[in-house]
Amino acid sequence: MVSITIRSLSKRFGDTVALDSVSLTIEPGEMFFLLGPSGCGKTTLLRHIAGFYTPDAGKVLFDARDVTFVPAHKRNTAMMFQSYALWPHMSVAQNVAFGLEQRKADPENIERRVGEALDMVRLRKQANRKINQLSGGQQQRVALARALVVRPDCLLLDEPLSNLDARLRLDMRTEIRRICKEFGLTTVYVTHDQKEALAIADRLAILDEGKVVQGGTPRQIYRFPFSTRVASFLGETNMIRGVIESEVGTDKLWAVKTDFGQFWGRLTEKNWEPTKGDRVTVCVRPEAMRLADYAGARNTISGKLNHYMYLGDTAQTVLSGAEGQEIRVTELHPTGRAPDSDTELFASSAPEDTLILRR
């Protein structure tokens, strides 16, 4: 178990800034996710940890050891590639044994550990198969076994589930978490699938245009995004523009004036003391809104029904507000019938679920 520290890491490719002074600390044994839209720099950061790239500036530390210029083969990380990168000219067992051979393990030891690793991913029977005789899910498990069998200091996963179908993805993500926790591995996991990240991450960092825009536990980031970009990248959100009026009450709530009337909400950004007239965006998650038959005193949006989508576990009602703005309301376990079209609808949110973000 090692901790991984990234210090002001920067990397350019030609004119493109891939990483812009990224700093992060990943605790020993932690399952850490790098999440972001494609091209945000998350894979580049992972490859710096693996040692395939050297930065233009900044450092990578494993515990206190500076590994910035240590070549990839001397880092004792184990990476699972998006394409799996299994060697087609070797059998399953040979693929898994490769890392142990490089570590000069004795043959008996290699055989035993390869066997154990294949048991762990339930592929012992396929040990002598060639890679192209395996299904996608089996290949994914070989890649995992090959990475884990060397008992790496940390496990690096580059979108490991993106080539699998939806059902298998669900099974494998819990499986990966179980194995990582069992081995006590420090794991860095790159994905653009927010559900995957929310489901199994201990902590995660959102990257955008080469910068870390927010880090924290899934709950912190989902509930209290620092910016509208984070809010809209992670899950759905309703955004209403407004200006700050005043602080209200004692719960650090603030009142915001919008086209839909007054909203009370809370600040997510630390060290920010708003003043009257500051331009802000009010963000409310669709599932934090409730449909009502009447207008409340505040935190209420009125509008005509735009459309209604029944999705089984949830139902989404979309209202068209005064300025043509669409507001989404998600209802869990929908049992009632769809609202009539052209009826006036009201949607409201509790002040503690209403976020005020700087514009």
Partner 1 sequence: MNSLITRLRSLPPASVVTFAVAGFLFLIFFVYPIGITLKEAFFGPDNTFTLEFVSMVFLDPLYLEGLINALKMAIFSTALAVAIALPLALIADRFIFPGKAILSSLVLIPLILPPFVGAIGVRHLLGKEGSFNTILESIGLVNAASPIDWLGAGGLAGVVVMNALHLYPIIFLNVTAALANLDPAMDEAAQNLGCTTWKRIIKITLPLIMPGVFAGCTIVFIWSFTELGVPLMFDYTRVTSVQIFHGLKDISGNPFPYALVTVMLASTILMYIVSKLLFGRSNFAVSGRASMAAAPKHLPRAQSFACTAAFSLVTFLAVLPHLGVVFVAFAGDWYNSVLPSEIGFSNFAEALGNEVTLSSIGNSITYAVLATIIAGIVGVAIAYIVVRTNIPGREALDAMAMLPLAVPGLVLAFGYLAMTREGQTFDFLVFPEAASQSNTGFLRLLGRMLGSIFSKVMDDGNPIVILVIAYAVRRLPYVVRSAAAGFQQTSVSLEEAARNLGASPWTAIRKITLPLIAANIIAGCLLAFSFAMLEVSDSLILAQQREHFPITKAIYSLFTSLGNGDQLAASLGTWAMLFLGITIVGAGILLGRKLGGLFRL
Q: Which residues bind partner 1 (CB under 8 A)?
A: 50-57, 69, 71-79, 81-83, 85-89, 98-99, 102-103, 146-147, 150, 156
Round to whole Å and give the CA distance between 319 and 303: 5
Amino acid (1-letter code) at residue 32: F
Place of tokens 């679920």: 353
The least distance separating partner 1 from the CB of residue 111, rounded to whole angstroms, comes to: 17
Closest CA to 263 of 253, 275, 278: 253
The least distance separating partner 1 from the CB of residue 33, rounded to whole angstroms, comes to: 20
Q: Compute φ and ψ for 34, nearest 5 degrees.
A: -105, 120
The least distance separating partner 1 from the CB of residue 85, rounded to whole angstroms, comes to: 4
Round to whole Å and give the CA distance between 267 and 260: 19
The least distance separating partner 1 from the CB of residue 191, rounded to whole angstroms, comes to: 17
Count of other CB atoms within 10 angstroms of residue 268: 21
Residue closer to partner 1 by CB (options 52, 272) is 52
Name the token pair of 332.
């869990």
The least distance separating partner 1 from the CB of residue 167, rounded to whole angstroms, comes to: 26
Residue closer to partner 1 by CB (options 101, 352) is 101
The least distance separating partner 1 from the CB of residue 211, rounded to whole angstroms, comes to: 20
Residue closer to partner 1 by CB (options 69, 310) is 69
DSSP states of 118-150 as a string? Answer: HHHTT-GGGTTSBGGGS-HHHHHHHHHHHHHTT
Which letter does DSSP use for residue 209 in this model?
T
The least distance separating partner 1 from the CB of residue 90, rounded to whole angstroms, comes to: 9
Closest CA to 177 of 285, 29, 47: 29
The upper half-sphere exposure of residue 234, i.e. CA atoms within 13 Å in the direction of its Cβ, equals 32
The least distance separating partner 1 from the CB of residue 98, rounded to whole angstroms, comes to: 6
Round to whole Å and give the CA distance between 313 and 151: 41
Cβ neighbourhood burial of 96 (10 Å; 0-12, 13-18, 19+): buried
Residue closer to partner 1 by CB (options 151, 359) is 151
Round to whole Å and give the CA distance between 187 and 342: 52
Residue closer to partner 1 by CB (options 12, 241) is 12
**How big is the chain by its Cα radius of gyration, in Å?**
25
Residue closer to partner 1 by CB (options 95, 354) is 95
Residue closer to partner 1 by CB (options 142, 207) is 142
Residue closer to partner 1 by CB (options 131, 284) is 131
Contact 238, 286 (CB under 8 A): yes
3-state secondary structure of 285: coil
Residue closer to partner 1 by CB (options 77, 238) is 77
The least distance separating partner 1 from the CB of residue 175, rounded to whole angstroms, comes to: 21
